Structure 1
Amino acid sequence: MSAPRGTRRRKMRRRADMPLLGGARPPIAALLGLLLAVAGVTALVLGGNDRAGVDTAVLTSQQRVAEDGALSLRASLDESVTDLQRAAALFSGPRPVAADTVLDKLGKVYGKWRGTAVIDPAGGLLAARGENIPLATVLDKSGQNGQEGQGGAAPVPRLVRLPSGETRMLVTAPLGGGDRPRLLVASGTLNVPGISTGEDRSLLVVDSAGTVLASDGPSVSRTAWAKRAAKSAADASARTPEPGGHPGAGGHFMAVGKAAKNAKKDSRTAVGYAAAGRAPGETSPAGTLGLSVITSVKVTEDASAVRTQAFGLVAAAVLLVLAVVVTWVLIRTVQRPLLQLYLESRRLGRGELDRPVKRFRGREPARIGAALESLRQQRLGGRPTRTGRARGGFGTRGTVIVCGVLLLAWAAPLLLLLNRAGSGVDVPRQLVEDQRRRTDTAADRVRKALNEGWADVASVAEIVGAGGGKEGADDAVLRTTLREHPRYRAVYVLDGDGKVVSRAGDSPRHPGGKKPHPDSVVQLNTSGKEPAVAAYAAVPGGKGRTVVGEYDPQFLISMVTRPGLGKVWLVDKKHRIIAADRSHGFRAFTKLPGAHLEKVAAAARKDAKRTSGTAVLRRSSDSAIVAAAGFSGGGAVKDLDWQVVSEQPTAWLELPEYTAQWHTMFAGLLGVTAAVACLGWLHIIVIRPLRSLADRAEALAGGDRKTVLFPQHHDEVGAVVRNLELIRQQLARPSGRN
């Protein structure tokens, strides 16, 4: 049986008047949805299966070690290419320099090449030094190299396999001067990067086909995982590196093999690999060779895991209960009273005055309900009265605050207290060793870069000496050197008394009136705004003249900046800071920031026979791995006695304790965000207008007929305000009384 037509029309009008958007329903629904989502996230991130977090930390560390090695390998090969190209350019002039003279002077400055030669692409060998160079490889492509020489293109290095099985890198550069083209050729050994190895660590250098070209440490090239690593590294060399990261793709994996007969568990090996490629837009001749570095280390510690499954499920269940309780409270105390107030005010606005207004619970709904009842009586002929009976009770703002406190009581402990890692975190010894090795590699990288810089300055000194001190000739050589080598801030020539006779770049900082230093790399100051470090090389037959190349401080900063190494400092023999990584900054010549750092640096310097650095795990409220490594290997920097010091906070490592801590804090942060956002939304959109509505309703019931009531939002509160305005207009008219 269908409802009467009038009843259907009233229901349709009621639905048309009911607000569809805004009001209390959206924030309450959003709060419930977000809390359910937070509970689900909490159960997933904390209640998942146990994970071996130590494996993740160790594997990431191996990839970082491989990336350091790849960067060091690429830089060394690039330097060799640049040195030969630059040497060939310096010996090129209007008159040809004898081939034997070129090789003799080249050998005095650079000792890195196993063999050097000058060849005529059409007529064969002109001069040679050192081991025999496979000239057939060069002569097969002599036409191409000759074209490159005429065009001024950069020399292209290539790898050559000798009959003995060793690999050599051949570099060619056009040697100008004379009527016939000549090529300067050098062969160098492809060595593994300067990373300290041991009984448990191996290093491999592979090409783009996965062939092992060089190795160090225990032999692993025949193992199954080594073949997998070689293939992965070869694939990585063909991938485009990610912007802002290592200039070459990389990765890691855990290899599990059969253990010894008496061992109870299978052996595990952490493998990391990285391509010695180049970033998009970067110039790197060695980056085109397709080389990759593979590092592997045996994992002797069992992977540990922090069990948070029960904790995560309990936390998620508690939040589910709170979500249901809070939603039920808000619906009962805010949403439902608002809808009932809307219906009561709408009834009075239409003139349906036959029954009293319903009594409400809660301070604001009760005040508005009492005001509506007073207005109903006034419409029936009563006089305006002030309502005060409903001012007691618990307000809606207090209800929202209580709900917020309940939700924060769940979220705040997760964010601030529970699952804290503390100072007793189980840090694998392998991570400490990797920090030491990476710090040692950084120190070796700085040492090689400074020595290479001195070799460049020495080659310039050879050219300056060959020029005989002609006016203007030195300036051209210095300008070319400064343009081709951004590591220098200034290059200049001093006479025997220390006076600058020719320069290029910034103002020289050699102490005035002081004679030049002997051939070496020297620290010129121990105070000031920035350090001054310079390479000195005497001009052969120059009567005391010396070429000086001052290093740019930004060059030193770039040498110690490596991702994943933590805070890194380059310090002198008195532990004064010379440079630091870009992410943390520094003030020149200040002390290391902490007595524990100086203690580790002093311990590393104390043992003069140590071939690698020192690393310790410092346990405190902010635990960290501290490592220090000095320069080893001599060269022009042998008198500097500098060190590289690094500090890696354990909180930055991917250890299971910290992973559980971050996940717990993440869940707590999500809970706080959901509670604050939705309850704040409810307070701004509903609670504040509702409190204001209670005041205006009481004023209207008290006799205020002049104040026009208009809604701020199209929601439940706005609908009540519109109905009150209709009642005010009816009371203001003389005919409004029934």
Structure 2
Amino acid sequence: MAASPTKRRHKVRRRTDMSLIGGIRPPIAVLSVLLLALAGITALTLGRVGQDAVPKAVKQSQQHFAEDGAIALRASIDESVTDLTRTAGLFSAGDPVPADAVLDKIGSVYQKWMGTAVVEIRSGKLLAARGENVPLAAIDRSKLKDDDGLQPRMVRLENGETRLLAFAVLSWKGQPQQLLVASTSLRFPGISLGNFRAIAVVGQDGNLLSTDGIPEPEQVLTDLQRKEVKQSNKQLKAFAKAAAKKSRQHPLMSKEPGSGGYKGVSGYLIGDSFLSERSVAGYATLAAPEPGEQTVATRLGLSVVAMQPVAEDEDRAESSAFGLIAAGALLLIGGVTVFLLLRTVQRPLIRLFLESRRLTRGDLNRPVTVPKSGEAARIGAALERLRRQLLGEPAAAGETPARRRRFGSRTLVAVCGVLLLLWSAPLLLLINRAGDDVQVPQQLVNDQRERTDTLTDRVRRALNEGHADLTSVASLIGARTEPDQMGKVLESTLNQHSRYRSLYVLDKDGKVLSKAGQDPRSPSGKEPSDEAIRVLDDGGKEPVIIGTAEVPGRGGAAVVGEFRIDFLNSLLKRPGLGAVRVVDKDRKVIGGNTGYFEFEGLPGGRLNALVEGTSQKVGLSPRPSGVLYRDGGDIQIAAAAPFVGGGAAKALGWTVVSWQPASQLPIPAYTLQNRTVLAGMLGVTAAAACLGWLHIVVVRPLRKLADQAEALADGDRKTVLYPVHHDEVGAVTRSLELIRQQLPTGAQRKRDGVSAPLAGRN
């Protein structure tokens, strides 16, 4: 059954109304919204750069400094507890040893504990002690049977200092169990503070457990210095309370999404101003190397606070005029652009849509209102000619089709794009360029130097710890003659420390007696080296770092450990330091935090000169150095620090070098440049996206429709008109198709002699 005319009209109206959801309106509306949003962003961001008294780069540098301290403290605590537990296990695996011999052996291998003691667990009798008095009264021996009873704990002494106690059990068959206790202070190993910096360990309650860098008021001479010290102590306590409160949040919630970086909770704090200097502090919780894991140190709930007084920038920019001017210019240009699109593209197209629908309804009495120019004018003129043809009127004498091709829709869209480029291009390419006169705070150079020095000490200590482990294993393996017994000791050591890729025992002729881990890469058939730690180049993809410790009483046999190069490289991955390299005496690269080639040279002669300048010379001791290189607009911060201190690793003569371009730091000049470029890019993107959308959805179909409408008016009755999109252009296309169906063909005109008007017209 055929649908009634009324239902058909409702169906056509619904299709027509739905076509208005897309079309020309959304691109122009979206462009208007994007330009308004961009104007607001421009006014807020470009006008606020450089208004802080302390640059953000300096604040973040203090945060990274606290993170370095937290990493060093966590590694020191975990390493100490692991060494104590492993040493006790190795002693327990052999024959019974007197308590004094145990402490003497531990003291000769490790010099990290302030006091050690051995206590009989059942009776509480003190069997031996070394160093300072260990607070044994704080130990509850009844709880030592539980696993939690052997967990390290903090004890506060009568003088106010805090000690960390670590425990391990010595157990031999047929003898009472003994408790090995070691105490250590919560001070930072090898942290280079520089001038006027203070660093502290903070408990969960916000109390200071240890501090470094602030002298006692009695140690200063003048009243002003005493006042400064008191102010520093007061400010440090305030920072400690704030850091303890912030450290309670989850690490993922403490950072911006996707920021990465330090795996624990970290940030920076701004304090009070005193004598034109403002205190800035970074804080960081002790975090495990891998996310989601816990170590002995992380369970203590400690935080690190690093405080530095920074001179305020009195010449900082406080005016937001540039942001307001740029935003106002965008509003003006954007308003003109949107007005042109509304006046010359959207309004004529909507008028064509209404006129074409009027003709399809049979309203042919009124002439078609023809737009002034462009494709809309061509289509309007074609509709007027079709209206006359539907009425059966003859063409006027000398009438020619109106083909107004100048200033079409494509040209208008291009003009709008040029207008938006007039605002975006200068921001993208010209305005607010940071030149070679950018002011880089000296504090950043100092922090680069001190952090590099701290990292150097961390690498040296890690190698020294590794060699101490080898020495401990060698001393305990001396009495074990069977390869299986030696293998158990090596396997246990390899499982407890991730720094080794392989451990093995060589006799005096270089024969492998026992091994654990991967195959040895040291030269086979050669006697053990006399060097404690050395580096070999075996032609592989990475250097071979080998530690050797002689086994006492075994006729020249030695325990050899090969360090994993990934372990060394993992120590160098510190945020905010840029590229880091470890180089040997010949300035050849041993390790790095980014990609490098084995034993390659440093990039550039300036870094080589920097490393050479830090090495030991006649009458001078090696010391870290930091420098700011300027090469036109290329500004680079670099630092180098050689191995300084004792231990087996000192003989290597290595140096840690770090460098990074200043443009990657949030310095006000670079921040303003980056935000200006970003605003220009957003403007170009918004213009390209919206005008491109308009060109694809409206302009191209409109140009094609103009050709089809003129062809239809010229007499082409065979070409069926299909709408490309369900929008205004599609609606006009459907109306032209309905008109085409009502127009008589050439055969009908010849047969009837007249043109049949549209049925149902008024």
Q: 1:54 to 1:164 in 2, by over 3 A?
A: closer
Q: Does 1:185 align with 2:181?
A: yes
> SS state of the match for residue 79, structure 1?
helix
Counterpart Cα distance in 2 of 1:392 and 1:147: 92
Q: Does 1:162 align with 2:135?
A: no
Counterpart Cα distance in 2 of 1:14 and 1:547: 91
Q: Does 1:457 align with 2:456?
A: no
Q: 1:81 to 1:209 in 2, by over 3 A?
A: same
**1:134 maps to what in 2?**
135
**2:226 maps to what in 1?**
none
Counterpart Cα distance in 2 of 1:12 and 1:158: 81
Which residues in structure 2 correspond to 1:711-726 (within 5 Å)? 711-726=723-738
Q: Does 1:256 align with 2:256?
A: no
Question: What per-residue deviation string (whole Å, max 9, x for no partner) do you get for residues 128-183 of structure 1?
Answer: 23333222223xx22222333xxxx7942122333444433221101121232211
Q: Which amino acid aligns with 2:234?
A: A
Which residues in structure 2 correspond to 1:315-714 (within 5 Å)? 315-379=326-390, 380-382=392-394, 388-467=401-480, 469-518=481-530, 520-525=532-537, 528-581=540-593, 584-606=594-616, 609-610=620-621, 612-620=623-631, 621-714=633-726
Q: 1:333 to 1:323 in 2, by over 3 A?
A: same
Q: Which amino acid aligns with 2:590?
A: I
Which residues in structure 2 correspond to 1:37-76 (within 5 Å)? 37-48=37-48, 51-52=51-52, 54-76=54-76
Q: Is 2:477–2:486's contact at 8 Å kept on the other side of the alignment?
A: yes
**1:174 maps to what in 2?**
169
Q: Is 1:237–1:275's contact at 8 Å kept on the other side of the alignment?
A: yes
Q: Is 1:306–1:657's contact at 8 Å kept on the other side of the alignment?
A: no
1:52 Cα offset (Å): 1.7
Counterpart Cα distance in 2 of 1:135 and 1:706: 106
Counterpart Cα distance in 2 of 1:579 and 1:308: 46
Q: Which amino acid aligns with 2:191?
A: I
1:627 Cα offset (Å): 0.5
TM-score normalised according to structure 1 size: 0.91
Counterpart Cα distance in 2 of 1:353 and 1:236: 77
Q: Which moved more, 1:390-399 or 1:277-286?
A: 277-286
1:526 Cα offset (Å): 7.5
> SS state of the match for residue 479, structure 2?
helix
Q: 1:386 to 1:567 in 2, by over 3 A?
A: farther
Q: 1:596 to 1:377 in 2, by over 3 A?
A: same
Q: 1:440 to 1:198 in 2, by over 3 A?
A: closer
**1:208 maps to what in 2?**
204
Counterpart Cα distance in 1 of 2:245 and 2:300: 13
1:489 Cα offset (Å): 0.7
Q: Which amino acid aligns with 1:111?
A: Q
Q: Does 1:291 align with 2:302?
A: yes
Q: 1:570 to 1:338 in 2, by over 3 A?
A: same
Counterpart Cα distance in 2 of 1:688 and 1:216: 72
1:276 Cα offset (Å): 2.5
In structure 1, runs of 5+ residues without a counterpart are 1-9, 260-265
**1:80 maps to what in 2?**
80
Q: Which moved more, 1:673-682 or 1:526-535?
A: 526-535
**1:246 maps to what in 2?**
262
Q: Is 2:49–2:671's contact at 8 Å kept on the other side of the alignment?
A: no
Q: Is 1:52–1:303's contact at 8 Å kept on the other side of the alignment?
A: no
> SS state of the match for residue 251, structure 2?
coil
1:328 Cα offset (Å): 1.4
> SS state of the match for residue 498, structure 2?
coil
Question: What per-residue deviation string (whole Å, max 9, x for no partner) do you get for residues 23-70 of structure 1?
Answer: 212211221122122112111112348612644222221121111011
Question: What per-residue deviation string (whole Å, max 9, x for no partner) do you get for residues 523-575 of structure 1?
Answer: 12275311110111110111111111111111011100011111111111222
Counterpart Cα distance in 2 of 1:387 and 1:367: 12
Question: What per-residue deviation string (whole Å, max 9, x for no partner) do you get for residues 430-483 of structure 1?
Answer: 11101100001111110111110111111111121121x213111111111111
Counterpart Cα distance in 2 of 1:517 and 1:368: 93
Question: What per-residue deviation string (whole Å, max 9, x for no partner) do you get for residues 617-667 of structure 1?
Answer: 112333121011111112011111111111122122221112212221222
Q: Which moved more, 1:80-89 or 1:560-569?
A: 560-569
Q: Is 1:628–1:644's contact at 8 Å kept on the other side of the alignment?
A: yes
Question: What per-residue deviation string (whole Å, max 9, x for no partner) do you get for residues 223-242 of structure 1?
Answer: 32122012123334544333
1:362 Cα offset (Å): 2.4
Q: 1:535 to 1:102 in 2, by over 3 A?
A: same
Q: 1:371 to 1:257 in 2, by over 3 A?
A: closer
Counterpart Cα distance in 2 of 1:272 and 1:611: 29
Q: Which amino acid aligns with 1:98?
A: P
**1:229 maps to what in 2?**
239
Q: Which moved more, 1:46-55 or 1:698-707?
A: 46-55
Q: Is 1:146–1:181's contact at 8 Å kept on the other side of the alignment?
A: no
1:102 Cα offset (Å): 2.1
> SS state of the match for residue 672, structure 2?
helix
Q: Does 1:275 align with 2:311?
A: no
Q: 1:165 to 1:381 in 2, by over 3 A?
A: closer
Counterpart Cα distance in 2 of 1:369 and 1:528: 78
**1:25 maps to what in 2?**
25
Q: Is 1:120–1:126's contact at 8 Å kept on the other side of the alignment?
A: yes
Q: 1:257 to 1:623 in 2, by over 3 A?
A: closer
Counterpart Cα distance in 1 of 2:485 and 2:474: 12
Q: 1:502 to 1:364 in 2, by over 3 A?
A: same
Q: Is 1:54–1:655's contact at 8 Å kept on the other side of the alignment?
A: no
Q: Is 1:567–1:648's contact at 8 Å kept on the other side of the alignment?
A: yes
Counterpart Cα distance in 1 of 2:128 and 2:35: 80
Counterpart Cα distance in 2 of 1:196 and 1:699: 84
Q: Is 1:626–1:648's contact at 8 Å kept on the other side of the alignment?
A: yes
Counterpart Cα distance in 2 of 1:119 and 1:54: 54
Q: Does 1:112 align with 2:118?
A: no
> SS state of the match for residue 218, structure 1?
coil
TM-score normalised according to structure 2 size: 0.88
Question: What per-residue deviation string (whole Å, max 9, x for no partner) do you get for residues 667-726 of structure 1?
Answer: 222211211111111111100110110121122223221221121222111111111111
Q: Is 1:192–1:214's contact at 8 Å kept on the other side of the alignment?
A: no
> SS state of the match for residue 466, structure 1?
coil
Q: Which amino acid aligns with 2:146?
A: Q
Q: Is 1:527–1:589's contact at 8 Å kept on the other side of the alignment?
A: no
> SS state of the match for residue 270, structure 2?
strand
Counterpart Cα distance in 2 of 1:663 and 1:490: 51
Counterpart Cα distance in 1 of 2:528 and 2:263: 39
Q: Is 2:615–2:623's contact at 8 Å kept on the other side of the alignment?
A: no
Give aligned pairs, total.
714
Q: 1:645 to 1:49 in 2, by over 3 A?
A: closer
> SS state of the match for residue 550, structure 1?
strand
Q: Is 1:53–1:655's contact at 8 Å kept on the other side of the alignment?
A: no
Counterpart Cα distance in 1 of 2:430 and 2:595: 32
**1:263 maps to what in 2?**
none
In structure 2, runs of 5+ residues without a counterpart are 1-8, 216-228, 254-259, 758-762
Counterpart Cα distance in 2 of 1:439 and 1:109: 28
Counterpart Cα distance in 1 of 2:15 and 2:195: 82
Counterpart Cα distance in 1 of 2:270 and 2:129: 48
Q: 1:726 to 1:206 in 2, by over 3 A?
A: closer
> SS state of the match for residue 456, structure 2?
helix
